[in-house]
Amino acid sequence: MDRFKVFQAQLRVLTDIGPAFEQVEDYCRQAKEAGADMLCLPEMFCCPYETKNFPVYGQLDGGEMTARASALAAKYGIYLSAGSVPELDEEGRVYNTAYVFGRKGERLARHRKMHLFDIDVKGGQRFMESETLTAGDQVTVFDTEFGKMGLCICYDIRFPELIRLMALKGALVVLCPAAFNTTTGPRHWELCHRAQAMFSQVYMVATSPCRDMESSYHAYGHSIVVDPWGMTVAQLDEKEGTLVTELDLSAIKAAREQIPLLKQRRTDIYRLEEIK
């Protein structure tokens, strides 16, 4: 199957779980009506993006947030890349965790954000996820009827080794729920996703919340799709909105045949491997 239609919801973050999932269900309905195969949500789509909030809003794996997402995927018969949510483990650790559910509501993937967003930009943004979050340690690739896909979260996109490992595991598309801010977004958002798509010859599908100037964290927005040639296929602005894009997966094979980067790696000199 060479055609894969993705529906991205650049939504406003609602912090009450009831209204948040009413909003998600509305987007599920829109995605279904648009003939989309997958709905993609942003990073921390139902939690205020502040380090102090992650433990407060966190739930155990399989809690209400993931149960509701699973149920909606099954109800509408679509894949649901359910953004990310704060996840608690039984020892009290907190993770920034992304989930993907299949058409029957089955869980296909769980990715705990591997690279924590700890930055201090002079004259700009300071943010320290490590104050409350624990880093994940898994390269996440999962199977679909369209082929393998990878899953990462926001700051993970800045580390080319991770996306390349996904490509080496067979990923054709990499999903990236994200929330770049207004300091880093204008400089690096499109650049990061274009670069990673080109270097690993995958589609990048990155979904952000919309910009809400009344919240404490101002997301950049600009949800984006980039093709395996590194070209931007579609992109929103900062406002609330949706993006429906049909991906031609045959373009991945074409890119990899015409410029065979993955085959031409000098593994006799250097090697990239996942350490178990």
Return the active site residues.
43, 113, 154
CA 89 to centroid of chain Cα atoms: 21
Query: Could you tell me where the DSSP H helices lie in the chain?
Result: 17-33, 53-57, 64-76, 160-168, 185-200, 250-258
Is residue 120 within 8 A of residue 161, CB to CB? The reply is: no
Q: CA-to-CA distance for 80 and 101, rounded, in angstroms?
A: 5
Which long-range contacts link 123-130 to residues 24+ away (Cβ below 8 Å)?
A: 124/183, 124/184, 125/181, 125/183, 125/184, 127/51, 127/181, 128/51, 129/51, 129/54, 129/96, 129/155
Q: CA-to-CA distance for 26 and 69, rounded, in angstroms?
A: 12
Q: CA-to-CA distance for 276 and 271, rounded, in angstroms?
A: 15
110 is written with which tokens? 């769980």
Q: Residue 269: CB partners within 8 Å, gap ≥ 6?
A: none
Q: SS3 sequence, 187-198?
A: HHHHHHHHHHHH
